[in-house]
Amino acid sequence: MLGLIDRALWIYDFDKTRIVWANAQGLAFWQAHSVAELAARDFNPVGQGTAERLGNLRVALGAGGGTRHENWTYFPGGEPCSRECRISAVSLEDGRLAMLVDAGTGTFERSALPPDFTYELRAIAAVRQSPLMISLCTHEGQWLMHNPAAEALVNRLSLINLPGFDNFLAMFAHPAEAAALRSKALQKGSAHGIQQMAGNTLRLHQITLRRLNDPVTGRLSLLLSQQDVTRAQRLERRLKKALVREKAMVETQRLFLSITSHDFRTPLTIIDGAARRIGRMAGSDSAIAARADAIRATATRMAQAVDRTLGWSSIAEGKVAFHPELLDIGPLLEKAVASQRTLHPDRAFVIELGDVPSLLLDAGLVERSLDNLLSNALKYSPQGASVDVRCIRRGKRVELSVTDHGIGVPAADMRRLFTRFFRSANTKGTKGTGIGLNAVKFYMGLHGGKVAVRSVEGEGSTFTLVFPIR
């Protein structure tokens, strides 16, 4: 009987996304010679909006939605054809749900469309395909329209557009907050915020409301657009918690280092003062005076180590004092090497000091940087290996490099080498804190320079301090 009707009819199988039957007018509409030819075509929706629209239709028809009237744009032969369709639920032979589409008898002439209507068609298609959930409602909460994404949301929430009921507020877990957001939009023209949706599952949506007039009735209405931001909000909360934990850990480390360092300073000062008095009492030429001087030198080195630790604490707080002066870097380098020779009299140093100009330097920070590089070179290289120190001018910069012939740095660790508290994988068993190179990088940044590294695991490393010539 359907085959005798002089209207374009076809049945669409939701599960197989195929047209499984069409009458003669339907075949003509789709430019197919037979039902078998039409059934072999792929009718999978191209856009997500179309897929959501079909899903909404399936839900509505499956729930006993009766006959629906909807405007659909089809593409038989690749050309757009818009039809006002009557859509009804039908059951296939195996009991599965399908839909019967009555596309009428009218024709669609593309060339007859006025330019403004083609613009409207594209705007409608864009709204339908948008992943944003877009709805239009009256200021009293009655739904006027949904795009497919918004209709899918309403279906998931099992909401019905009840007359005389505020359907807008029924979407949200906290209606009072949603009502305040709506009032703001009605007063100021727009409003936005994050709202928790109704239902048993925690879903957070970014809500935007804009005041407008319904283009059909002229009544005061609201355009609602919403986007699911649940995952982003969860990630943001996790990041905030991680940041709080990181700040607490850094603060704990800072306090520990600061307190411990200050606790060391007091006995070191006492030791130094006692050794100085012993040296004076013993006389300058006695063996006791020499040992007293050795004690004082050791106390001084320990105090310098404390200063380095406090220096990292100052970096963490962003309170490093920087007082550059026009200085010759040569004496600073010689002093740093001399200090290491005192600690390691059996180690060899090869020094090459070129003709370099005076630089704007903070002597204390440069000494700390050199002390770190030299002590690392000694610590991570064999007992008999030399440490090569070279200072030369290269164009508009001075390069001071420290080369060792030790364990080197694994290639996988090079990227993180100057990260605070990071230590290379091959340094296990060797004492260290992982803060020295990070401090060197910071100090060089204050000088407007940088620290660079070249290294081959098992062969050695070269760390270079690069100072600009101003």
Burial letters 425-453, b for 16+ CB under 10 A, else e: ebbeeeeeeebbbbbbbbbbeebebebee
At 243-254, the pLDDT tens digits run 998 888 877 777
How far apart, in whole angstroms, are the C-alpha atoms of residue 234 and residue 247? Answer: 20
**Residues 461 and 363 grouped into a single domain:** yes
Q: How many domains does the chain have?
A: 4
Residues 176-188: pLDDT tens digits?
999 999 999 999 9
- Mark whether 294 and 274 lie in a shared domain: yes
pLDDT tens digits for range 257-303: 667 666 777 788 888 888 888 888 887 778 888 888 888 888 877 87
**391 bridge partner residues:** 353, 400
Apex CA 437: angle with CA 435 and CA 442, to 5°? 95
| Position with higher pLDDT, 430 vs 207 | 207
Kindly report the CATH number assigned to the domain that includes residue 252.
1.10.287
Residue 442 belongs to some domain of the structure: yes
Q: Is residue 125 part of a domain?
A: no
pTM: 0.51
Q: Which amino acid is at 194?
A: I
Q: Examine the domain organization and report whether 87 and 220 are in the same domain.
A: no
For residue 121, being part of any structural domain is answered with no
Same domain? For 166 and 99 the reply is: no
Is the same domain home to 356 and 443?
A: yes
Is residue 387 a part of any domain in this protein? yes
Q: What is the pLDDT of residues 351-393, one digit of tens each?
A: 999 999 999 999 989 998 999 999 999 999 998 899 999 999 9
Last residue of a domain, one of 317, 346, 373: 317
Nearby residues of 137 by Cβ (< 8 Å), 6 or more positions away = 143, 144, 167, 168, 221, 222, 224
List the CATH number of the domain containing 340: 3.30.565.10
The fraction of the chain above a pLDDT of 70, given in percent, is 93
On whether both 271 and 309 belong to a single domain, the answer is: yes
Helix %, strand %, coil % for the chain, to 5?
Answer: 45, 25, 30
* CA 56 vs CA 6, 15, 147, 154: distances in Å: 29, 14, 10, 9
| Residue 300 in domain | yes
Give, to the nearest 10 degrees, the angle between helix 48-62 and helix 148-156: 40
Helices 230-282 + 287-317 axis angle, to 10: 160
Say if residue 267 is in the same domain as residue 401: no
Q: Which one, of 308, 333, 336, 261, lies nearest residue 439 by Cα?
A: 308
Report the CATH number that the domain containing residue 31 is assigned in CATH.
3.30.450.20
If asked whether residues 143 and 163 sit together in one domain, one would say: yes
Domain co-membership, 209 together with 250:
no
Whether residue 329 is found in the same domain as residue 435 = yes
pLDDT of residue 39: 93
**Dist CA 268 CA 249 (whole Å):** 28
For 100-138, the pLDDT digits (tens) are: 999 988 654 454 556 666 777 788 888 888 889 999 999
Residue span of the structural domain in which 33 resides: 2-112
